[in-house]
Every structure is written in C-alpha cells, then in structure tokens.
Amino acid sequence: MLSDIITPDLFAAALRMATPLALAAIGGTICERSGVVNIALEGIMLIGAFFGTATVLATGSPWLGVLVAVLAGVAISAVHAVASVNLRTDQVVSGTAINLLALGLTGFLMELWYGHPGTTQPIPTLQPVFGFGAMGDGFLGEVWRWINGVFLSHTPLVYAAIFIAIGTHWAMYHTKWGLRLRALGEHPRAVDTAGVSVARGRWVAVLMSGALGGLAGANLSIEQVGVFQEGFTNGRGFIALAANIFGRWTPIGSYLASLLFGFADALQIKLQPFRDVIDLPPEFFLMVPYVVTVVVLAGVIGRAVGPAQVGVPYEKG
Amino acid sequence: MSESREVVPTQRAWMSVVQKIGTPIISTVLAIAVGSFIIWISGYDPAEAFAALFKGAFGGPRQTGETILRSTPLILAGLAVGYGFRAGLFNIGAEGQLMMGGLLVAWLGVQMAGLSSVVTIPTLLVAAALAGAAWAFIPAILKARIGAHEVITTMMFSHIARYIVAWLTAGPIKAPGQIPQTVNLTESAQIPRIQSLFSEGALEALPFLNLGRAHLGILIAIAAAVGVWLVLRYTTLGYENRAVGLSPWAAETAGISVQWTTVKALCISGALAGLAGGIEVMGLQHRIFDQFSAGVGFTGIAVALLAKNHPIGIIAAALLFGALSAGSGTMQLEAGVSQKIILIIQALVIFFVAAEGIVNWFIRKRQKEAASSAE
C-alpha cells in the first residue's frame, strides 16, 4: 500500500497544490513587510480567478486570462491601498470588506454574464511546459521516472512561483527596494526621515500583493481546475497568510511553508481511495489542510514575531 | 475654531449622538447608491429593484415576519462579532461557532423528546451557547498564550465545523431518507412562531399579527442585546473587556489580565454565535443539514461594524440586513436582479463605515490648518 501512496505524482501534486498558496503567501509577505495587513488575499484570488476565467471564455487564450487575472488582482488591491494607506482605516476590516465584495461581485457577474450561479463552462487550461516520456529501464529509468514525474510535469505558473519566491527573496535582502520595504514595516518614521515616501512604498507593496494574489487565482482556475466556481478559493487566502507567518515573513520561507500545506492536501487526496484500509469518513480528509494550519499556527516552532509596525497606519508628522 | 469651543455641553452631547448615528446612515445610503449604480450599469432598473425589495421585506405582515425572521440570528451574530471587537478581537469565524451551536441543539433536542418544553428550551439554549463557546475556546487559548492570530484560527475552525456538520448529517446522526439532515425536533423543543400565540379569531381581526415564519427567538435576541449592553456598561467583566480593547498595555498595567480577558471575550463571542445557530434550528429549521447557515456569521461582521459594536445599534443594523435578505428573493423574482447584490451592498457598507477615516482626515487637516494659522 505504501508504494501506492509514495509515488512521484504525490510529490508532484504537493508542488501543484502549494503553488496558489505560495503565490498568495509571498504577496502577503511583501504586503506585511511594508506594514500593511492583507487579509483580502482570499478575495483577490477569487477576483483574479473569475476575471481570468471570463477572459479565457471570451477569447480562448489562457495566457490572456492570466494577464487579466493579474490586472484584476492589482485593481481590487488598489481599493485596499486607498483604504489602508490613504484613509488609514482598520486594515483587517478593509480586507474583510474586499473578501465579501469579491464573493458578491463574482457571484453577481456570474449570473449576469452566464445566466446561472455555481460553475462556469470548462476553459482551455495552460498545459505542462515539458512533455518528456519514459526513458530507459532499471534503476536509471526509475530515477528518471521520479525526476520527470515530480519536477518536470508541471504547468508554467508552478515554475513561475518558484522563480518568484527566489527572486523576491533575493530582492528583499539585496536591493534598495528590499531594504526600504523591510524598513517600512519596522520603522516607517526612519524611512520618512530619509526622504522616502511611506505612502508610495506601501502602495507599491499592496499592488504587488494584488498581482500575486491575482496570479494565484489564475493558477487555481486556468491551470488547475479549468473552471471558475463560486467561492472555490475555500479559505486558501487565509491558509496563505498562515504560511507567510510560518515562513517568518520571508518569500522562500513562505514557499516552503506552502509546500508543507500543499503536501498535506496532496496526501489527503491520495489517501481517500484507501478508505477501506484507513477507516475514516471523507470529511476527515477534507479537514486536514485546515487542521494542519491551526497546528502550525499553534507554534510547533515557537512564537513568530512579525514586522513591528504591521497593521499600524502611518501618520506623517 | 473659537466658535466650536463655546458650544454648550448639551449641544455637544447632541452633536456626538449625531456623529455616532451619522456615519452609519451616510454609509448605508452611499452603499445603496453604489449598489443602485451597479444594478443600473448591469441593465436593470434600480427603482424597480428596490421597490420589489421593499415589497418583499415590508409589503405585508408575512413579509415583515420574514424580515424579523432573518434579523433574529443576525442580531446574535452581530453581538458575537461586536463583543469580540470591543476587546480588540476579530471573531471572523462566528459562522463556525454558529454551526456548532445548531449542531448540538439539533442532536440534543431529539434526545430530549418527550420532556416538557419548559425544561427542553432553556436547556437547549444553554447547550447552544456552550457549543459555540467551546468552538471558540481553542482559538482563544492560542491567541492568549502564543498570539496566534484569531482571524486565521477562527476561520480555519469555521471550515472544520462545516466538514463536521457534513460528516455527522451524512452518517452518524442522519435521518432516514436520501437527504443528509437530522430528524426534526419535536414540538417541545421548538421555539413557537409569534402568530401561534394568538387565536384564529384574533389573527382574523388583526391581520398584522399574521407574521408568517417569525418566531419568538427575536425576543431572546433582543434580550441578549440588552444583556450585552448592560454587561459592557455596568459590570467588571464588561469594563475589563473594553479596557483590553482600547489598550491592552494600559489594561495590563492597571492589573487586568489581558490573556484571561481575551479568552473570556472570545468564548462569550462564541457563545452568542452558538446561540444564533441554536435559535435558528429551534425556531426555523427544526433540524440541521449541510450548509444550513448561509453566511449569517459573516453578515454578523457587517452588522457589528455598521452598529459600531453598540449592542442596541446592532438590533437596528440587523433589521436592515434582515430586510435586505428578506426582500432579495422578491427582487430577483420581480426585477431579475441577482440576490448577490446584497453581498455587494454589505461589503460596501463595511467599507464606508470603516472609511470614516475620510471624515477624520478632513477634521484633522482643518485642525492642523487652524493650529498653524493661530501661530
């Protein structure tokens, strides 16, 4: 049985499932590092997924869908930026409003454009980048089967997420932008005193998190599921925030934490057919990602400390 | 500037009331205006849509009853979220605590069949509150002891509750038949409808008493609102709750245990949400099924924010959202506008109430200008 569970496609699925979480989590990392809490990621993903899917339905082009998903994410996050940076509203409340707005707006447009609630027509999805077949046999063939299965079987955004994690991590610790971003969340007054605009820095960070949230939505709809379904983000935006915390507010940390959640999700799906061996109702498997999130937050690894000024609106003195 | 300093105290008190009620009213009007705009650019007639909505919410005694019916759990969910907010906690997972309250009542109510309703109903209400409090307990402890953010943990517990209800109603406590749901409560475990209090003759003579599905749970909800108001205003418990909400640091310095207050606040919040679920089962559904709460816990957030967490204001805010919810069906039928517009309006209300910052920003700016000109 174990050899039926521990297969290349289990780990491939983990990478796949981790991708939307990781993209959103890195968005959360950038946003929180700048001092703005973004619990709107759930709604941003939903908006991105919806407008991405609608674009593919209208044009037939998955890549155009990805682009529109990103733009939609940026647009909706601009609302969060206005609220939290300029109007200094409570950022958690503003995020909640956006989550609710996303749920309402996507449902409303769904009925307006497609005449029914629920799920859209299937769309053409982005295909795996490589298409290598089996090679050789014996031990080397087996090694190739694993490498090909786990790492070379993916769609473009799965790889994009890895590059984004590495790229933003590097930028965060090796560029002027990164230094300023980290300072914005720790000591905005210092950034201001140095003559750099706090508002502008936070705006850029919020919009970047919107772009990544939109991309996460695109991955979910245009790469994974192949449809848009009302509310199908199913708490992923919140799990992504937990991944950001578990990853200690760093992009690579966020990616690795997402990988853990992705693996938990992949494993529960993999285990479901073995219900006669593991005698548990299907709902128990479906609960796994949420339970793992709580357990992780419960601080198996100790107390995590975020940026000092996160969630605090900055008032220019 | 100098004029405003000479305002007499009564006038100032009046101004503060206007300021308190002003923002929610302006926010609601703005939200409905933007909602109308969305309806209009979608090719519908906003006037027709809102006329149909009003008809569905207040067009007759039955419709008014429906508004009362929908407002009942919203008052309790709003109180749940509002009580947490007053302690600086955001119980975004009220939905999950509500489901657990409903679940325990649906099961226990059936077990208690045969007992008098004088015993059954109070027991079930307590059970519902306890179930909700229990479901908030772990997030509360995690928040107090290690600072795990309650927004994430209560949300996760909400998803877990959803699957627990799905599992139990599909198997262990499923009623015979195809549909995954529990057995109906016996009459002794049900909260009676308001109209059942009156005789046939009285209902015919006074047709406005014919309130359809509205039940006496509304009285429990209003009593809870008054109770929470009294607790917040006159008890040590309420004082500590507010103190921690205003400044945990100052509260700690004054000798209040922030951790213990946090745990109590989230559990009381959970208890109120659980009560909402229990009353929904006892008064309306009489059983529980998968997805029996269509987002009441989340609407509770909008209710609390619109009322600025004031328990009495929450009754009014819940009536507004209850009316929107009750009328939305008629609106969809008669004007063709999707009910989802209600969610959009809710989001806009939250947004505009929160963006009170706009108003404050202007005030601060003017004060600053006045100060600099005075120098």
Question: Which 3-state string (H, E, C) describes B220-259?
Answer: HHHHHHHHHHHHHHHCHHHHHHHHHHHCHHHHHHCCCCHH
User: What does the pLDDT read at residue A301?
Assistant: 52
- Radius of gyration over alpha carbons of chain A, in Å? 20
Position B53 confidence tier, pLDDT thresholds 50, 70, 90 = very high
Q: Is A276 in the B-facing interface, judged by CB distances under 8 Å?
A: no
CB contact under 8 A, A242 and B152: yes
**Chain A nearest-CA residue for B172:** A281
Range 51-80 of A in CB contact (< 8 A) with B? 79
The whole-angstrom distance between B80's CA and the closest CA on chain A is 16
The whole-angstrom distance between B333's CA and the closest CA on chain A is 14
The whole-angstrom distance between A136's CA and the closest CA on chain B is 45
User: What does the pLDDT read at residue B361?
Assistant: 54
Cβ-Cβ pairs closer than 8 A, A with B, add up to 132
Residues A188, A314 contacting (CB under 8 angstroms): yes
**Chain B nearest-CA residue for A116:** B338
Digit-coded pLDDT (tens) for A205-224: 999 999 999 999 999 999 99
In order of their start, the domains of chain A are 2-297 (1.10.3470)
Instruction: Specify which residues A119 forms β-bridges with.
Output: A229
Phi-psi map region of B312: left, alpha, beta (phi>0 left; psi -120 to 50 alpha): alpha
Tokens found for residue A143: 């090694």
Identify all chain A residues contacting B138, using CB atoms and an 8 Å cutoff.
294
Helix (H, G, I), strand (E, B) or coil at B121: helix
Mean pLDDT of chain B: 88
Tokens found for residue A278: 């593991």
User: What does the pLDDT read at residue A224?
Assistant: 93
Position B130 confidence tier, pLDDT thresholds 50, 70, 90 = very high
User: What does the pLDDT read at residue B362?
Assistant: 52
Residues A102, A235 contacting (CB under 8 angstroms): no
What is the spatial distance between Cα B6 and Cα A53, in angstroms, rounded to a whole number? 60
Phi-psi map region of B215: left, alpha, beta (phi>0 left; psi -120 to 50 alpha): beta
Span B27-38, mean pLDDT? 92
Residue B134 pLDDT > 90? yes
Tokens found for residue B320: 């507004």
What is the spatial distance between Cα B242 and Cα B232, in angstroms, rounded to a whole number? 7
CB contact under 8 A, B344 and A284: no
**Chain A nearest-CA residue for B362:** A87
User: What does the pLDDT read at residue B7?
Assistant: 54
User: What does the pLDDT read at residue A246?
Assistant: 86
What is the percent of chain B with per-residue pLDDT over 70, rounded to a whole number? 90
Residue B364 pLDDT > 70? no
**Chain A nearest-CA residue for B139:** A294
CATH number for the B45-336 domain, one of 1.10.3470, 3.30.70, 1.20.58, 3.30.450?
1.10.3470
CB contact under 8 A, A238 and B151: yes
Burial class (CB in 10 A: 0-12, 13-18, 19+), A139: exposed
Digit-coded pLDDT (tens) for A109-149: 999 999 999 999 999 999 999 988 877 788 888 889 899 88
**Chain A nearest-CA residue for B160:** A287
Identify all chain B residues contacting A297, using CB atoms and an 8 Å cutoff.
142, 148-149, 152-153
Position A289 confidence tier, pLDDT thresholds 50, 70, 90 = confident
Residue B68 pLDDT > 60? yes
Q: Which of B302, B330, B295 is nearest to B317 (CA)?
A: B302
Residues in chain A, overall count: 317
User: What does the pLDDT read at residue B115?
Assistant: 87
CB contact under 8 A, A303 and B354: no
Question: Domain coordinates of chain B in residue numbers?
Answer: 45-336
CB contact under 8 A, B343 and A103: yes
Residues in chain B, overall count: 375
Other CB atoms within a 10 A radius of the CB of residue B146 amount to 13
Q: Which of B60, B37, B61 is nearest to B49 (CA)?
A: B37
Residues B163, B103 contacting (CB under 8 angstroms): no
Position A303 confidence tier, pLDDT thresholds 50, 70, 90 = low
What is the spatial distance between Cα B260 and Cα B271, in angstroms, rounded to a whole number? 16
Position B300 confidence tier, pLDDT thresholds 50, 70, 90 = very high
Digit-coded pLDDT (tens) for A60-89: 999 999 999 999 999 999 999 999 998 888
Identify all chain A residues contacting B167, using CB atoms and an 8 Å cutoff.
281, 283-284
CB contact under 8 A, A283 and B90: no
Residue B10 pLDDT > 80? no
Instruction: Specify which residues A274 forms β-bridges with.
Output: none
Q: Is A39 in the B-facing interface, judged by CB distances under 8 Å?
A: yes
Identify all chain B residues contacting A303, using CB atoms and an 8 Å cutoff.
146-147
Please tell me which residue, B351 or B13, carries the higher pLDDT value.
Answer: B351
Identify all chain A residues contacting B361, using CB atoms and an 8 Å cutoff.
87-88
Position B2 confidence tier, pLDDT thresholds 50, 70, 90 = very low
Phi-psi map region of A278: left, alpha, beta (phi>0 left; psi -120 to 50 alpha): beta
Q: Which of A264, A43, A290 is nearest to B158 (CA)?
A: A290
Q: Which of B343, B340, B361, B362 is nearest to B351 (CA)?
A: B343
How far are the Cα atoms of A58, A186, A214, B83 from residue A311, in angstroms, in the given order?
Answer: 39, 11, 22, 21
Residues A231, A45 contacting (CB under 8 angstroms): no
Other CB atoms within a 10 A radius of the CB of residue A158 amount to 24
User: What does the pLDDT read at residue A317?
Assistant: 64
Position B365 confidence tier, pLDDT thresholds 50, 70, 90 = low
Instruction: Specify which residues B289 forms β-bridges with.
Output: B181
Kindly give the residue spans of alpha helices, DSSP state H, lying in chain B.
Answer: 2-5, 9-41, 46-58, 61-86, 94-111, 117-146, 150-170, 200-205, 217-234, 236-246, 248-253, 258-280, 296-306, 311-335, 341-354, 357-374
Q: What is the ipTM of this complex?
A: 0.89
Among A92, A107, A238, the residue with its CB nearest the CB of B156 is A238
Q: Is A140 in the B-facing interface, judged by CB distances under 8 Å?
A: no
What is the spatial distance between Cα B192 and Cα B164, in angstroms, rounded to a whole number? 28
User: What does the pLDDT read at residue B4?
Assistant: 47
Span B257-263, mean pLDDT? 92
Among A112, A117, A290, the residue with its CB nearest the CB of B42 is A112
Residues 6+ apart with CB under 8 A from B82: B228, B303, B304, B307, B309, B310, B311, B314
Q: What is the rounded (10 degree) CA torsion for B339, B340, B346, B349? A: -100
Mean pLDDT of chain A: 91
Identify all chain A residues contacting B92, using CB atoms and an 8 Å cutoff.
96
How far are the Cα atoms of A11, A133, A134, B49 from residue A146, in angstroms, in the given order?
Answer: 9, 12, 10, 59
Digit-coded pLDDT (tens) for A191-200: 999 989 999 9
- What DSSP letter does each residue of A20-72 carry, written as one string? HHHHHHHHHHHHHHTT---TTHHHHHHHHHHHHHHHHHHH--HHHHHHHHHHH
A153-167, A251-265, A268-282, B90-104: which has the minimum mean pLDDT? A268-282
